[in-house]
Amino acid sequence: MKKKISIILLLIITCTLTAGCKKGSKKNEDINLYYNSEAVKTFNFAKEIIEQFEKEFEIKVNINPVNSEKDIEKNISEEKENSVLLLDDYTYIKFANKNYLRDLGYLYKSKDTREKFSYITNIYGIYNDKYYGIGLMPYSLELVYNEEALKKLGIEVNENDMKQVFKKLNEKNIKIPTYIKSEYSKEELLSTLVANDTVIYDMYKMNKVSEIDDKIYALDNGQEIFGRLNDLYKDNVLKEDMFLEEGEGAIKNFNEGKSPVVFITTLSSSDIKSNDEIKVVNKMPIGDNYINSPVGVDFIVCSSIGNKKSDEVDKFLRYLLKEEPFNKLSEKNCISGNKKGDSNLKEVQGQMANSIHAASGINILYIDMISKEKGKKIDKEVKNVLSGKYDGKEWKRIIEK
């Protein structure tokens, strides 16, 4: 009898230990995620997706914020594991050229998958005909206004035309509170407003240049960007001193009715308190052409190459193909680039999302393929032009080595 009891106890202990080990092994599954905190501005929303994923799959995501692309490069070159990377477009192209990224065509190439996201976010995930990832958190420049407040100031907005609204505000000497949530400056993004129709054919040539630092030299018509900005300056449409840099306080003041307008990117869409009076303009006509706003993405989700944890990383990448995480983001008025999630957005956030989902391949940001060093030069030259200091040599100074 005692022998039977001993055997039963031994079996119970063995089963318990085995179950515990199995349970523990699942809890011990983890993956690494790296992102540049200087470039990614909406990690708070990415973190919400990560937390939902961890809860559903019991896979721990080790979040590793770094301060530069070099730090990411150092980490993934030292590891033998696949890792999730959230990359800005410039770093993404650089890493693809260095063969750091996995081709994820088996996940993201199918028509059904691509149709879940906006056209522009799909484009950002493709390089040299390979699907290295998916762009998320798309954004564009937006002039948000309170329709009733502007009417009281004698300004009526009849169409989606930044040029006309900027000019009317300038004529009445109304300054524009500004908060630009982006890795780029206001000046760099303003240059993109006139760049799409100006240098689009040059951008096709840029794509054919393999070395990313040399892509800028394919922009043969770069000076035209500054010629267009100078025309807008002379027409009293765009001036450097018309904008008030107020940080996040610009949105707070707008929400409280202290200012009738605010100039932002859609990465701040969740902070705008919406109602029927809040509207947006985001198109800058070039000649007789009304062109959709240039659209960037806050980050591209990719995977580094490794020989371990590919299954765990793939689970995370496949999770991004579900509707649920993006539906939850839409509840917070976040524009994610996922069609189903963004279709839930109403009022001004819905207007912003509709413009982004209407964007095409010509609406990508030309500055995404330009180094930070050259970007700083663009910023400086735009400031000068919008301060009345145009001399026709802006692009020459930018591309000087």
Express each pLDDT in 236-283 by its tens digit: 999 999 999 999 999 999 999 999 999 999 999 999 998 999 999 998
What average pLDDT does the segment 124-137 reach? 94
**Model confidence band, residue 182 (pLDDT cutoffs 50, 70, 90):** very high
Residue 291 CA to residue 307 CA, distance in Å, equals: 45
Q: What is the pLDDT of residue 80?
A: 81
What average pLDDT does the segment 288-301 reach? 87
Evaluate if residue 21 carries a pLDDT over 80: no
Evaluate if residue 45 carries a pLDDT over 50: yes
- What are the phi and psi torsion angles at 165 (to 5°)? -70, -45
Tokens of 64: 């590793």
Q: What is the pLDDT of residue 201?
A: 74
> Is 226:394 a contact under the CB 8 Å cutoff?
yes
> Is 394:385 a contact under the CB 8 Å cutoff?
yes
**Model confidence band, residue 7 (pLDDT cutoffs 50, 70, 90):** very low
Q: What is the pLDDT of residue 97?
A: 94
Evaluate if residue 349 carries a pLDDT over 80: yes
Nearest to 281 by CA among 133, 378, 159, 389: 159
Evaluate if residue 127 carries a pLDDT over 80: yes
Nearest to 237 by CA among 191, 170, 295: 170
Sign of the CA dihedral 267, 154, 239, 216? positive
Evaluate if residue 16 carries a pLDDT over 90: no
Tokens of 263: 């100039």
**Which of 78-82, 144-148, 332-336 is least confident?**
78-82
> Hey, what domains does the chain have and what are their CATH numbers?
31-139+297-361 (3.40.190.10), 141-294+371-399 (3.40.190.10)
Q: What is the pLDDT of residue 27?
A: 54
Give percent of the chain with pLDDT exceeding 70. 92
Q: What is the pLDDT of residue 142?
A: 96
Evaluate if residue 75 carries a pLDDT over 60: yes
Evaluate if residue 22 carries a pLDDT over 70: no
Higher pLDDT among residues 64 and 26, named by residue: 64
Give percent of the chain with pLDDT exceeding 90. 78
Q: What is the pLDDT of residue 117?
A: 96
Evaluate if residue 123 carries a pLDDT over 90: yes
> Is 163:284 a contact under the CB 8 Å cutoff?
yes
> Is 253:177 a contact under the CB 8 Å cutoff?
yes
Which residues 6+ apart lie within 8 Å of 275 measured at CB? 347
Evaluate if residue 151 carries a pLDDT over 90: yes
Mean pLDDT, the chain, whole residue set? 90
What average pLDDT does the segment 112-122 reach? 94
Evaluate if residue 374 carries a pLDDT over 90: yes
What average pLDDT does the segment 72-79 reach? 86
pLDDT (tens digit per residue) in 351-366: 999 999 999 888 999 9
Residue 81 CA to residue 143 CA, distance in Å, equals: 44
Residue 166 CA to residue 236 CA, distance in Å, equals: 8
User: Beta strands of 165-295 (E only): which ranges?
Assistant: 176-178, 243-245, 261-265, 278-281
What average pLDDT does the segment 158-168 reach? 93
Largest CA distance in the chain: 102
Q: What is the pLDDT of residue 78?
A: 78
Higher pLDDT among residues 96 and 2, named by residue: 96
**Model confidence band, residue 368 (pLDDT cutoffs 50, 70, 90):** very high
> Is 303:83 a contact under the CB 8 Å cutoff?
yes
